[in-house]
Structure 1
Amino acid sequence: MDMATDIPPGNKDNKSLERDAIVWLTRVTDEDVTAEDRAALRHWLAQSPDHAEAFAKANTLWRAMPSAIETMVRSGSVSLPAPAEMHRGVIGRRTLIGGLATATAAAACYAMFRPPLDLWPSLSELAADYRTATGEQRQITVADGISVQMNTQTSIALRPAATSADRFELLSGEAIIGAASIKPVQVIAADGLTSADAAKFNIRCSTAKIVVTCLSGSVHVEHRDHAATLREKQQVAYGGGMMSNVDLVDLATVTSWQDGYLVFRNEPLADVIAEVNRYRPGRIVLLDAELGRGLVTARFRLDRLDDVVVQVRDVFGARIRTLAAGIVLVG
């Protein structure tokens, strides 16, 4: 495999760089790694400080596992350039080895706030009033007449009540909120506000967008200069100053997690894997963008999510590599 052509050196976002860094680590742990591969890696690292940071974070993750990458790093076969040397475009072996410890320590600190590949909760999530672990669901009552069913990897922080409504913030994850007519509820998610009175709704908070689905009653959603009122079976998404049109959805699909299932209908494989990762310990890492565009229609049991990897291998013919700590590389 020619890594120099598999991973172009152009500008990429942080998530793409993290995936690329995993690809490099995978390659250099193969038995057939060559001197050309290592030279190509050094070239990739020299593209920008972001490339080096992505590699440092990936390296920190892998160093925590009983992985062959530990031996590679200690022997000097793979190492990280110091940021100053990268700016000058000068990469020597001694500089590579010396820069590794500093960059890795910085990446570890940064990872406390933005975990690589979302493998563990961020500091803000850990500081929440209520939080569920991977695979956990929990029922709570945040105020009189307001019940919340928290899905996996969900963090909620209580906020001071408004004059006429109880309020809390969904920091991450997904929840079904039931509001009786005793007092309205307001849910903050990112820079949006969802309000309801005598209604039931599902709200999901991800890095890219917030999705609100009305299960019964009426729900009002506000995001900056946008607003929408939802009725039963209606859904809207917002984020980045934009709000989608109101769509009709299948409520059984939206709430299937309550019954112990994940249901997908013509969803890109990349989105399927991202969803499965919320429920499964470790991480499934998709390395092939083209593979991720393949469509999936399936129904998976939450207590048998390893079936997903098997089906991806059998249906798409994808290469699967299983590492320690539940890490699975696909593609």
Structure 2
Amino acid sequence: MTSPEAHEFTELRETARQWFVSLLADPTAARWAEFEKWVNADPAHLEAYQAIEATWYAMENPGKRLADKEADELSVYLDAMDRAKRDRKTGKRLGTLGIVVAALVAGAIWLERPGLIQDLRADYMTARGERRTVMLADGSSVLLDADSALVDVSAAGERRVRLLRGGAFFEVVPSTIPFVVEAAGGRVEVLGTGFDVRLVADGGSVTLAHGRVSVRTDAHAGTTTLEPGQQVNFGPQGVAAAQFVELGDALAWRGGRYTFYRARLADVIQEIARYRRGRIVIVTSTLADERVTGSFPLDDTDAALASLQASVGFGLHHLTSRFTVVSP
């Protein structure tokens, strides 16, 4: 039978955890004022909160590894984290309130709006879990996948857009003026056709539904022309050889389903993350490069992650409801 003291301790830890998650997700001044009252009411409250905080900091290594790739977005957050830890070592109870608030605000942006700078530049964007169609000035339509951003950079006498994040399916009206999509250092050019452009970790991919497209990169000479049903990847190394794919699978995201064959786990996780709040971090490059095959609906990301976990056998750790770590 659980003792009253043990039960009270469990409830206190749960309250402290709820405070930590609440402040991470919504660090408003009013919430902080309420928290200060709670934490100052009893020394045990501070002790319980610091124990929860210590668990969070113990898991910061995945975030630091990710910071190597996203240094600009995470630098403020990690600097504030380090300063807060130094304050704890010198005996300050909760550190400077301004430092902690800055860390939590930056952390909340990193969790919920990692593409904030891109969104500020974009003409069209979608939120996590949202797909929508936009019409361009020339009459062409663009179906934006979830968590995507697009900017129209057309000038007089040209049709040109730039995909900043995510993926999109373009249905381009015919014209003598080429329609150009710029993405990840690549350039896709058409006169009138239907095709998909998607950004991945190491570049992008183009899938042609009908018509003709040409693909090239800024750093390499030569152009690859696709036939309907073909897909090609491009990146810093240039444009890979085109391959025929099953269009129904490659474009299944338009109907809310994601189908993949021998895809990198990191790329599959990235697609899941477009439909999920918060962030998912893979802690090792070896695990990120695992090849996986499968299919799942995009409206149930928990089931999608569970399916991947069952097939690959990785560890899945939910630090909070909005921060998930995938480990070997």
SS of match in other structure, 1:328: strand
Is residue 318 of structure 1 aligned with residue 314 of structure 2? yes
Question: Which residue does 1:57 correspond to in 2?
Answer: 74
CA distance in 2, matches of 1:105, 1:264: 40
Counterpart residue number, 2:138: 144
1:160 Cα deviation from its structure 2 partner: 2.8
1:166-177 to 2 correspondences below 5 Å? 166-177=159-170
Q: Which amino acid aligns with 1:129?
A: D
Match of 1:220 in 2: 214
Counterpart secondary structure, 2:85: coil
Q: Which residue of 1 aligns with 2:153?
A: 159
Does structure 2 retain, via aligned residues, the 8 Å contact 1:221–1:228?
yes
How big is each residue's C-alpha offset from its partner over 1:43-86, in whole Å with a ceiling of 9 and x where there is no partner? xx9xxxx88x97x938938x9xxxxxxxxx79x9x8269xxxxx
Please say if residues 125 and 155 of structure 1, whose CA atoms lie closer than 8 Å, have aligned partners that are also in contact: yes
Check whether the contact 1:159–1:167 (CA below 8 A) recurs between aligned residues.
yes
Identity value in percent: 29
Amino acid at match of 2:155: A
Residue 330 of structure 1, CA deviation: 2.3
**Structure 1 counterpart of 2:255, from 255, 259, 263:** 259
Q: Is the alpha carbon distance of 1:191 and 1:318 closer, same or farther for their aligned partners in structure 2, counting shifts above 3 Å?
A: closer
Which residues in structure 2 correspond to 1:93-242 (within 5 Å)? 93-94=89-90, 116=110, 119-161=113-155, 163=157, 165-183=158-176, 184-224=178-218, 225-240=221-236, 242=238
* 1:34-53 equivalences in 2 (<5 Å): none
Structure 1 gap segments, 5+ residues each: 1-25, 64-72, 82-91
| Maintained 8 Å contact 1:60/1:104 | no
Between the aligned partners of 1:198 and 1:304, the Cα distance in structure 2 is: 35
Q: Secondary structure at the residue paired with 2:303? A: helix
TM-score after normalising by structure 1? 0.65
Q: 1:278 Cα shift?
A: 2.0
TM-align CA RMSD: 4.2
What amino acid is aligned across from residue 211 of structure 1 in structure 2?
A: S
Aligned to 2:12: none
Does residue 29 of the first structure (1) align with residue 29 of the second (2)? no
Which structure has the larger Rg over C-alpha atoms?
A: 2
CA distance in 1, matches of 2:53, 2:222: 46
In 2: Cα distance, 1:320 partner to 1:300 partner: 18
Q: Is this contact kept in 1: 2:111–2:278, CA < 8 A? A: no
Q: Is the 8 A contact 1:79 1:100 kept in 2?
A: no
The count of corresponding residues between Structure 1 and Structure 2 is 266
Aligned CA distance change for structure 1 residues 117 and 243 (closer, same or farther; 3 Å): farther
Partner of 1:296: 292
Name the counterpart of 1:22: none
Match of 1:274? 270
Q: Which amino acid aligns with 1:208?
A: D
CA shift digits 1:234-258 (9 cap, x unpaired): 2222222522122222212221101
Larger displacement relative to structure 2 (125-134 or 286-295): 286-295
Instruction: Kindly provide the amino acid, as one letter, of the partner of residue 293 in structure 2.
Output: T
The verdict on how the C-alpha distance between 1:125 and 1:119 changes in structure 2, with shifts beyond 3 A counting, is closer
